[in-house]
């Protein structure tokens, strides 16, 4: 919470003997949405009245309100830091909440000595919290054991809380496609709960018109066990996953569907079927891209390729990076910054990935890779941290602010992606690029949010394909 009171380097208490009846002190704070979210994270109180704007609008308060105990915590802060200050023992508190506290309210916390008990060295404080309109939002009485010895201690900065709201990030992503028409999507062999629910969640969000391809009996059994409603959903029954992949690819080649979505089959099964259809080939190599919302990074981060190309050659890397650049532009980044990763930031003959990085940068200089700004080799820290860039004295328009991380091979890419997801709590989604249809590719471990996010990416790519087809038809016409 923001304070407009001047900060000092020291906290000095007021002892029991220095306190007099009628003496008071105050604290000012302005309540922000981040404060409410942080209080929810610490307390575990996720009442939707505090966190869900849509729900809160339907309540008697007609909007998000702060937790009542957040105001009580401000009273505690005044006691513990200023009045009486360090050494105070909080014995009890009676509170009455009289008005809701809203985002943007500036609260004045006033504590006044009401009584002193010289025998027990205790005091009773009258507590009053008012908003910027002078309205009382909280009042009560507190019992304290003030310090008896004078103390002056250095002020300690409070620990920082880095807030990350995956639901809000998901809503922002969904908002980007709100105006786009849903497209037909072949969901290939959705024979487990994760892939079937992911497809139906995406349909519920208005992203796709699902066409479920696989053994119908098995699909319906999974739906029944998971409580998934398939009323009105098109199902094309085939015997096994190979047949499902082949039929889905053929439908995509005929433009009967505009997105392919992987279900419970191996990735190579689906991609083999796609590559077997000449009408789906673009002349570029297929490559995978992850999109991550990382709590400690200020923008979405794309990582390629962590799922398809095991040990790509230089020419294959050209396709991989061009696929990534083109897709970043679809996402709205006009000239994406591409960091080509290695273990070091210098070209080192004994580390082949540094040679590839240098060659890719030169190819970009010569127009063989278009639309992005490339730099490499860069170590991971130099790609995403401006502090690392400053310490190492790197002069680069990409370092420290990459939009795309291009990894040397599948192993390193998979490790980076999994570390971001499981250690940095990043929210990820994935897509296969390089064919005439986007392919939403998810892992068996992915939850519903990741599957819907992957479908958002696929929808954006599908509409870009529509646009390209229309432009090509216009040119030919």
pLDDT, tens digit only, all 477 positions of the chain: 434 444 568 889 999 999 999 999 999 999 998 899 889 988 999 999 998 888 999 999 989 999 999 999 999 999 999 999 999 999 999 999 999 999 999 999 999 999 999 999 999 999 999 999 999 999 999 999 999 999 888 888 777 777 667 777 788 888 888 899 999 999 999 999 999 999 999 999 999 999 999 999 999 999 999 999 999 999 999 999 999 999 999 999 999 999 999 999 999 999 999 999 999 999 999 999 999 999 888 899 999 999 999 999 999 999 999 999 999 999 999 999 999 999 999 999 999 999 999 999 999 999 999 999 999 999 999 999 999 999 999 999 999 999 999 999 999 999 999 999 889 888 889 999 999 999 998 776 677 788 899 999 999 999 999 988 888 878 776
One domain, residues 171 and 252: yes
User: Distance between CA 57 and CA 462 in Å, rounded?
Assistant: 35
Please indicate, yes or no, if residue 251 is contained in any of the structural domains. yes
* Beta pairing, strands 10-12 & 337-341: unpaired
Please indicate, yes or no, if residue 394 is contained in any of the structural domains. yes
Structural domain ending residue among the three candidates 124, 149, 174? 149
204: helix, coil or strand?
helix
One domain, residues 329 and 437: yes
One domain, residues 51 and 93: yes
One domain, residues 135 and 224: no
Give one word for 87, left, alpha or beta, with left for phi > 0 and alpha for psi -120 to 50. Answer: left
User: Distance between CA 92 and CA 312 in Å, rounded?
Assistant: 67
One domain, residues 303 and 397: yes
Structural domain ending residue among the three candidates 121, 149, 177? 149
Please indicate, yes or no, if residue 245 is contained in any of the structural domains. yes
Please indicate, yes or no, if residue 434 is contained in any of the structural domains. yes
Please indicate, yes or no, if residue 66 is contained in any of the structural domains. yes
Structural domain ending residue among the three candidates 93, 120, 149? 149
Q: What is the CATH number of the domain that holds 119?
A: 3.10.129.10
- Catalogue the long-range contacts made by 37-43 (C-beta closer than 8 Å, 24 or more residues apart): 37/163, 37/165, 38/161, 38/163, 39/66, 39/67, 39/69, 39/70, 39/73, 40/67, 41/161, 41/163, 42/161, 43/67, 43/69
Q: What is the CATH number of the domain that holds 333?
A: 3.40.718.10
What residues form DSSP beta bridges with 187?
A: 212, 261
Q: What is the dihedral of CA 327, 332, 338, 339, to 10 degrees?
A: -110
The number of folded domains in the chain is 2
User: Distance between CA 290 and CA 234 in Å, rounded?
Assistant: 29
One domain, residues 374 and 434: yes
One domain, residues 129 and 182: no
User: Distance between CA 343 and CA 376 in Å, rounded?
Assistant: 11
Please indicate, yes or no, if residue 57 is contained in any of the structural domains. yes
Do 378 and 425 touch, CB atoms closer than 8 A? no
User: Distance between CA 286 and CA 274 in Å, rounded?
Assistant: 10
């Amino acid at each position: 919470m923001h304070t407009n009171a001047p900060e000092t380097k020291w906290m000095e208490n007021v002892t029991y003997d220095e306190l007099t009846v009628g003496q008071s002190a105050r604290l000012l704070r302005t309540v922000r949405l981040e404060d409410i979210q942080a209080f929810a994270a610490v307390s575990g109180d996720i009442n939707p009245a505090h966190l869900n704007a849509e729900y809160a609008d339907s309540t008697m308060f007609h909007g998000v309100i702060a937790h009542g105990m957040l105001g009580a915590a401000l009273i505690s802060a005044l006691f513990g830091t200023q009045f009486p200050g360090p050494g105070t023992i909080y014995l009890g508190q009676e509170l009455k909440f009289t008005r809701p506290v809203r985002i943007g309210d500036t609260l004045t916390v006033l504590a006044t000595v009401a009584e002193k008990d010289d025998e027990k060295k205790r005091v009773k404080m009258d507590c009053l919290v008012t908003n910027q309109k002078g309205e009382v939002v909280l009042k009560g009485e507190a019992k304290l054991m003030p310090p008896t010895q004078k103390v002056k201690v250095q002020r300690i900065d409070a620990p920082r809380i880095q807030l990350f709201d995956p639901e809000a990030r998901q809503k922002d992503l969904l908002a980007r496609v709100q105006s786009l028409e849903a497209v037909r999507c072949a969901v290939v062999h959705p024979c487990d709960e994760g892939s079937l629910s992911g497809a139906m969640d995406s349909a519920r969000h208005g992203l796709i018109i699902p066409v479920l391809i696989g053994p119908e009996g098995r699909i319906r059994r999974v739906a029944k066990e998971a409580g998934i409603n398939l009323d009105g959903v098109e199902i094309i029954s085939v015997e096994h996953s190979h047949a499902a992949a082949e039929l889905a690819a053929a439908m995509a080649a005929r433009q009967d569907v505009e997105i392919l979505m992987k279900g419970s089959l191996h990735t190579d099964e689906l991609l083999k079927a796609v590559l077997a259809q000449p009408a789906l080939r673009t002349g570029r190599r297929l490559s995978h891209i992850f999109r991550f919302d990382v709590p400690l990074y200020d923008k979405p981060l794309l990582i390629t390729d962590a799922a398809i190309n095991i040990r790509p050659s230089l020419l294959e890397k050209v396709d991989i990076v061009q696929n990534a650049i083109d897709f970043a532009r679809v996402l709205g980044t006009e000239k994406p910054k591409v960091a080509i990763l290695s273990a070091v930031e210098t070209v080192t003959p004994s580390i082949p990935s540094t040679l590839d990085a240098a060659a890719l940068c030169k190819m970009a200089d010569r127009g063989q890779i278009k639309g992005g700004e490339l730099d490499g080799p860069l170590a991971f820290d130099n790609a995403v941290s401006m502090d690392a860039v400053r310490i190492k004295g790197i002069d680069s328009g990409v370092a420290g602010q990459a939009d795309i991380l291009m990894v040397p091979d599948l192993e390193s890419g998979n490790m980076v992606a999994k570390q971001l997801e499981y250690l940095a709590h990043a929210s990820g989604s994935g897509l296969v690029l390089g064919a005439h249809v986007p392919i939403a590719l998810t892992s068996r471990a992915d939850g519903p949010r990741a599957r819907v996010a992957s479908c958002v990416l696929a929808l954006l790519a599908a509409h870009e394909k529509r646009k390209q087809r229309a432009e090509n038809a216009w040119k030919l016409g």
